[in-house]
Structure 1
Amino acid sequence: MNRVYIKTYGCQMNERDSEAVAAMLRGRGYRIVNDEDNCDILLLNTCSVRDAAEQKAIGKAAHVASRKKKNPDFILGVLGCMAQNRGAALLDRLPDVDLIVGTQKFHQVPDYLDNLRAAQAAGTPIATTIVDIEEEVGSQNTIVEHVLEEKQVSAFVSIQQGCNMDCAFCIVPKTRGDERSRPMDDIVRECEQLAERGVKEITLLGQIVTSYGRRDYVHTGGVTPFVQLLERVNAIPGIARIRFTSPHPRGFKDDLIQAYGRLEKLCEYVHLPLQSGSDRILKAMNRPYSRDRYKQIVDDLRAVRPDMYFSTDVIVGFPGETDDDFAQTRELFEACNYDMAYVFKYSIRTGTPAETMGDQIADEVKEARNAELLAILQANSNRRNALLLGTTEEVLVEGRDKKGLRYMGRTRGNRIVHFDANDRLIGQLVPVKIERASTAVLYGSLALAGVEQ
């Protein structure tokens, strides 16, 4: 009765939270399984960024709850952002859920499951759903444990949680709370321990990762706490690459931009959310930068690293977005020449300022604008990949691909590459000559003389 399956929706922060819960449960004697049909406890770690994400999780929970009719001891839990956003109100739709745990209480999941299983063992039916969505001081320091698969070469490290930005479209401040940063020494120690376990690539995570430590550490010589952290992780033996997500444009001061030229392990890849290319819409969104400032950041980064790869987030159809506003977004989207992008059609999120704004945009208009940006993105990606044909790229070998036929890894620019190799190269940085490309994937062969493929 201790087999647990965790299904995760949403962002990399959620993936990291689920991993930490899994590690804590393993330490308590639970078995983490990969088959939801073969579990006694199913936990859904949910997302609230868009209503569709919540509805998808609610539908899944309603379907899974039917298992209780066949097995009354089956336990169903809802964790994360939707749990935080809806709390006990979820029970109106999901009366059979046993556990609702918010974003600051992940570390309590083992105790709550122990309590539920103890009640079952005593023959006592679960009378009431456990609901815990309270804030907890220091909760950002509880996401520290890792479950590493054999020969795992990359890992997420949570450094900061919460957000104080109050963007008009975003539910995250409600679901994740105020900004809270972990102690720098603790983060560095965690990265050192991961390196000792064979991890070669670290991705630092936060809701606004570039805001790390701004209230907790002094800016030394014009260097922000976030860049100070990057410097310390860069100095860890064994770590070969550093990435981070998700930043905010206002965090790209000169110290961070220049870090791309002097920190050799910081990969030349930036996720830089745009949201809109119209100053009028940016102001309505409560995004504190202009289109000119955003483009200046892109230009400054490319001046430091001409081979920089960019990805972004864009929302089309924000309330009041005119054809001219969208034209400005399209123009800036083309000018920035993104390699990858997440393009979202605006959806109303209850409890956000944008919910009550007038002039909501018709679905067919959103769809057309979405398709237009995706077509530009595909052309950009194909053009960038074509330039890589015949070049040799440094690839961190992660393991076999999903089909198990070849091996895969990523370039420093976060491009996925498939190639023939062998197990002993997993975790190694190898040169791969790029021979073929699709929109999303590169294909090549090892360019290392004498290497057995």
Structure 2
Amino acid sequence: MTETTTRTAITRPVFVRHDDAALRTLHIVTWGCQMNAYDSLRMADVLRPMGYREVATDDADMVIFNTCHIRERAADKLFSALGRLRAVKEARGGRMMIAVAGCVAQAEGAEILRRAPYVDLVVGSQAYHKLPELIAAVEAKRASVIDTAFPAEQKFDFLPEDQSGQGAIANLAIQEGCDKFCTFCVVPYTRGAEQSRPAAAIIAEAKRLVARGAREIALLGQNVNAWHGEGLDGRDWSLARLLDALAEIPEIGRLRYTTSHPRDMGDDLIAAHRRNAKLMPFLHLPVQSGSDAILTAMNRRHTVAGFRRIIEALRAARPDMAFSSDFIIGFPGETDADFRATMALVREVEFALAYSFTYSRRPGTPAADAAAQVAPALAHERLMELQDLLRDQQHAFNRAQVGRRFEVLFTGAGRYPGQVAGRSPYLQPVVVAGTGLADGAIGPGTMTEVTITSANPNSLMGTINQEQIAA
């Protein structure tokens, strides 16, 4: 196959519906963040009018790998998966379209086609709304097509309004891209500059989601609290104002937003946690390190003291507030004193949940060529110590919920007969069993007060009183 790069002007795709006889099968493999999961759903939406229906197996007529480029060896993971799929395609006489989408596609599009010329389509994270015309180009030219352009128009403006239902808990992308340029991160290069969707489009999508059964909506963005979009009144709105507007939709019971940056945690957003009852008391706020020296080297442009002030202000606004965070261990130049400062911050804040990794060199980022790279064995040793502490804090937070009563949003059946499962305000899985549940009285989308009776490391058990079930 030869490589063809499409650079035509963007026009709104015409979504031609096919009859049932023309149905084709589609399988999407999703790696990475919630934004990627959202993008995969929207890719399926774009392809549905073309006659594609999703299936669970990778011998579909079209397979899309929606990739993530955050961690090391992301490309190796992709090429390994592509190698396995090549045999399936060859066994079918080539009658399979293979596409690579997402951040690895954006960063390494030409390299993908060089190493895996049997790939038919490479589409970047900002161009997947053009899938119908790109597929048509592949079929017409009988050649690979690559499109990793950053169009001036927002892709959200070109997606069909008829979108996939996500159940009782739904994600909604409101912001994309990053202008922060942390020295370890590829997101500014793979997702582009920060863009905010207008409030009207977000509210309209939220209403479509609740019409399909969503009761909780999580607003997504690479820097979601940097959102500043055109409001319904034509003025610039902040995220706090958008959350207030979404809270006015009666069917929405819960609101969240992720992922936030400490630099964009303004006073109005902190105040929203005090006044907006639908805004959940749980926030993911990545700090990355407890050392100011390392934060400076990372170009985070916030300090440890500033992060502490945000935590204190949020807890003052909402005393039941809990936090999760991200930590990178073994960043170039990290000393033992820097690591001890991170451990001290973790002990002080007490996180309900956290994600921690050793530093991963990403080609093209400033930190990749930095001096004083930390030995992998030392970085791993430090990571294990941090993860032990974070695991203890998570278990302690879960145990502290025993005896509490709070609303649980139920999402479906539990693992065993007679159980129903849902999520707490803090995103913990909650499982309830008892008389009257198996008959569907508590179904997906139901929000009911639960008394927590026991805690496991990663979930909670609870009971519902019979009066609530009967009601």
In structure 2, do the counterparts of structure 1 residues 67 and 153 end up closer, same or farther at CA, with 3 Å as the change threshold? same
Gaps of 5+ in 2: 1-22
Give the one of 171, 176, 184 matched to 2:191.
Answer: 176
Instruction: Output the CA distance in 1 between the equivalents of 2:264 and 2:295.
Output: 17
Shift of 1:250: 1.1
SS where residue 289 of structure 2 aligns?
A: coil
Shift of 1:218: 12
Instruction: Output the CA distance in 1 between the equivalents of 2:263 and 2:461.
Output: 36
Shift of 1:403: 5.8
Whether 1:107 and 2:129 are equivalent positions in the alignment is yes
Asked if the contact 1:140/1:182 (under 8 Å) is kept, the reply is no
Asked if the contact 2:200/2:232 (under 8 Å) is kept, the reply is no
Which position in structure 1 is the counterpart of 2:272?
A: 259
Asked if the contact 1:224/1:255 (under 8 Å) is kept, the reply is no
Which position in structure 2 is the counterpart of 1:201?
A: 216
Shift of 1:127: 4.0
Shift of 1:452: 5.8
1:310-349 per-position Cα deviation (integer Å, ceiling 9, x unaligned) = 1001000000000000000110011110011110110100
Letter in 1 for 2:373: Q
Instruction: Output the CA distance in 2 between the equivalents of 1:207 and 1:367.
Output: 27
Give the one of 1, 16, 22 matched to 2:44.
Answer: 22
TM (norm. structure 1) is 0.93
Shift of 1:115: 4.2
Which position in structure 1 is the counterpart of 2:120?
A: 98
Whether 1:74 and 2:96 are equivalent positions in the alignment is yes
Q: Which moved more, 1:372-381 or 1:403-412?
A: 403-412
SS where residue 76 of structure 1 aligns?
A: strand
Which position in structure 1 is the counterpart of 2:200?
A: 185
Whether 1:53 and 2:68 are equivalent positions in the alignment is no
Instruction: Output the CA distance in 2 between the equivalents of 1:361 and 1:94.
Output: 34
Shift of 1:193: 2.0
Instruction: Output the CA distance in 1 between the equivalents of 2:408 and 2:308.
Output: 29
SS where residue 228 of structure 2 aligns?
A: coil
Instruction: Output the CA distance in 2 between the equivalents of 1:247 and 1:224.
Output: 17
Which position in structure 1 is the counterpart of 2:414?
A: 401
Q: CA RMSD, aligned part only?
A: 2.2
Which position in structure 2 is the counterpart of 1:436?
A: 454
Which position in structure 2 is the counterpart of 1:447?
A: 465
Shift of 1:374: 1.1
Whether 1:3 and 2:21 are equivalent positions in the alignment is no
Alignment of 1:26-175 (within 5 A): 26-37=48-59, 39-71=60-92, 72-116=94-138, 118-119=139-140, 127-141=142-156, 142=158, 145=161, 146-148=163-165, 152-175=167-190
Give the one of 396, 420, 440 matched to 1:383.
Answer: 396
Give the one of 241, 261, 271 matched to 2:284.
Answer: 271
Give the one of 341, 354, 360 matched to 1:347.
Answer: 360
What stretches of structure 1 move > 6 A for 4+ residues in a row? Answer: 217-221
Instruction: Output the CA distance in 1 between the equivalents of 2:212 and 2:233.
Output: 32
Instruction: State, as a whole percentage, how many aligned pairs show the same letter.
Output: 37
Asked if the contact 1:430/1:448 (under 8 Å) is kept, the reply is no
Which position in structure 2 is the counterpart of 1:227?
A: 240
Instruction: Output the CA distance in 2 between the equivalents of 1:404 and 1:130.
Output: 49
1:381-424 per-position Cα deviation (integer Å, ceiling 9, x unaligned) = 11111111122221001111356662211111111101123434
Shift of 1:70: 0.6
Q: Which moved more, 1:430-439 or 1:285-294?
A: 430-439
Which position in structure 2 is the counterpart of 1:123?
A: none
Shift of 1:56: 1.4
SS where residue 125 of structure 2 aligns?
A: coil
Asked if the contact 2:176/2:194 (under 8 Å) is kept, the reply is yes
Letter in 2 for 1:157: L
Asked if the contact 1:199/1:239 (under 8 Å) is kept, the reply is yes
Shift of 1:309: 1.5
Give the one of 358, 364, 385 matched to 2:377.
Answer: 364
Shift of 1:220: 12
Instruction: Output the CA distance in 2 between the equivalents of 1:88 and 1:213.
Output: 34
Shift of 1:196: 2.4
SS where residue 469 of structure 2 aligns?
A: coil
Asked if the contact 1:144/1:190 (under 8 Å) is kept, the reply is no
In structure 2, do the counterparts of structure 1 residues 76 and 333 end up closer, same or farther at CA, with 3 Å as the change threshold? same
1:166-222 per-position Cα deviation (integer Å, ceiling 9, x unaligned) = 0000000000001111111111111122222221111001110011126x579999x
Shift of 1:433: 1.6
Gaps of 5+ in 1: 120-125
Instruction: Output the CA distance in 2 between the equivalents of 1:384 and 1:204.
Output: 25
Asked if the contact 2:200/2:231 (under 8 Å) is kept, the reply is no
SS where residue 379 of structure 1 aligns?
A: helix
Shift of 1:377: 1.1
In structure 2, do the counterparts of structure 1 residues 158 and 400 end up closer, same or farther at CA, with 3 Å as the change threshold? same
Instruction: Output the CA distance in 1 between the equivalents of 2:441 and 2:468.
Output: 14
1:345-371 per-position Cα deviation (integer Å, ceiling 9, x unaligned) = 101000101011011111111111111
TM (norm. structure 2) is 0.89
Letter in 2 for 1:301: L
In structure 2, do the counterparts of structure 1 residues 50 and 143 end up closer, same or farther at CA, with 3 Å as the change threshold? farther
